[in-house]
Amino acid sequence: MLAASVIAAYEIFFAVTAFVLGAIVGSFLNVVIYRLPLGLSVNEPKRSFCPSCRAPIAAHHNVPIFGWLWLRGRCAHCQTRISPRYPLIELLTAALFLAVWLGFDWLLALPLWIFVSLLIAATFIDFDHFIIPDEITLGGTVAGVLCGLGFPRLLGETAPALGLLWSVVGAAAGFATLLAVVELGKLAFGKKRIRLEPPEDFTWQSLPVQEQEPARDAELRIGAETDRWSELFLRPKDQFILECDRLVLAGQEHENVTLRCFADRLQLGKQDYPLAGIEQFSGRVREYVFPREAMGFGDVKFIACIGAFLGWQAVFFTVAAASVIGSVVGLAALALGPRGREAKLPFGPYLALGALLWLFAGPALVGGYLRWVRGG
């Protein structure tokens, strides 16, 4: 009886430790999610700060989950509301750390905690910015391969060399699978044509070069919509076509012309205009055609990261599950009317959710599905 009580006490102690550790890591992930896409260091400043007034947050106010509750969701300095997402990310991370601890051999806790942390960071950065930084995708792939080597049981092996092999195979399978989807999607849906009735004014305006930006950028405004120029061209051969009723370019006015736009130049008839020498051009557009991708290349690298941690079987399950979940969410968005149809839906969060489904229930789900198909 005493031995059973001691064992139970140890189990509770380590479960609570896993939950608390997850909440602490979740607090750090909040820093990563906010700073990484903005090009800010996650180490400097070392203390978290209010996004509004930039005042450092005192240590006793920065206790995961409880600090936000204690301050009633407001900054102690400027009283600006702080999003409830911060404690929710801490709580989510804590819950997943606990689920890993309870659901897997303790020897696999470390690599799986790293993995779920990457999923959480990628999900919320993608929600906010529609990107998944290379630090998470490529860095996560390297981490997954190293975990395959150091923890081969993660991939169902006992020999480190086999763990390494299957981790690399999983990363390659993931990358190749979604790369094929991207390329096929580009062939089938690589352009979208928008007709404007009546035609609308547009303006292209160069932006001042910021210190953290590697190159010059610009904004393109068509009616009420504004896009960053650099975000329109993901490939060197991509082009943005404007069918203009009127165009003012390089001090000259043109009527009823087709302007072909590339990332670094404009083409009007046979004349090329390097964008490096242009501050602004404008006009009135009746139709435009813009390049698009089936999904971003960040998703391709993200599934490679997932494959590196979980193996090639997880890749195919994750992609299938993410597609089903994304379709359901997309249909729900369409049902909401015009606002839902205009909503941008990042694919990374669906990949993360698909990966979690595989991690905690994938083999059982696949087995149940196969038994159902066979009528068993």
Whether pLDDT at 344 is above 70: no
Structure token digits, residue 223: 């009616």
According to DSSP, the β-strands at 191-206 and 280-291 are: antiparallel
- The full set of domain ranges for the chain reads 1-103, 108-188+297-376, 191-291
Whether pLDDT at 299 is above 80: yes
In the structure, what pLDDT confidence band is assigned to residue 211 with cuts at 50, 70 and 90? very low
According to DSSP, the β-strands at 265-268 and 240-249 are: unpaired
**What percent of the chain is modeled with pLDDT above 90?**
58
Q: What is the pLDDT of residues 223-274, one digit of tens each?
A: 988 888 888 888 888 999 999 999 999 889 999 999 999 999 999 999 999 9
Structure token digits, residue 328: 């359901």
Whether pLDDT at 327 is above 80: yes
Bridge partners (DSSP) of residue 282 are 203, 248
Residue written as token pair 């942390």: 117
Q: How far is the C-alpha of 283 from the C-alpha of 286, rounded, in Å?
A: 10
Whether pLDDT at 50 is above 60: yes
Q: How far is the C-alpha of 202 from the C-alpha of 227, rounded, in Å?
A: 11
Measuring CA to CA, which residue among 243, 247, 230, 233 is closest to residue 196?
A: 243
In the structure, what pLDDT confidence band is assigned to residue 366 with cuts at 50, 70 and 90? confident
Cβ atoms within 10 Å, residue 101: 22
pTM: 0.83
Largest CA distance in the chain: 92
SS3 261: strand
Whether pLDDT at 210 is above 60: no
Check residue 6 and give its pLDDT.
67
Q: How far is the C-alpha of 75 from the C-alpha of 52, rounded, in Å?
A: 9
Measuring CA to CA, which residue among 357, 297, 352, 300 is closest to residue 172?
A: 300
Mean of pLDDT over the chain: 88
Measuring CA to CA, which residue among 309, 349, 254 is closest to residue 140?
A: 309
Lowest mean pLDDT among 94-98, 99-103, 340-344: 340-344
The Cβ-side half-sphere exposure at 234, using a 13 Å CA radius, reads 15
Q: How far is the C-alpha of 99 from the C-alpha of 116, rounded, in Å?
A: 11
SS3 242: strand
Whether pLDDT at 339 is above 60: no
- pLDDT: is 222 or 367 the higher one? 222
In the structure, what pLDDT confidence band is assigned to residue 338 with cuts at 50, 70 and 90? low
Enclosing H/E stretch for 356: helix 348-373
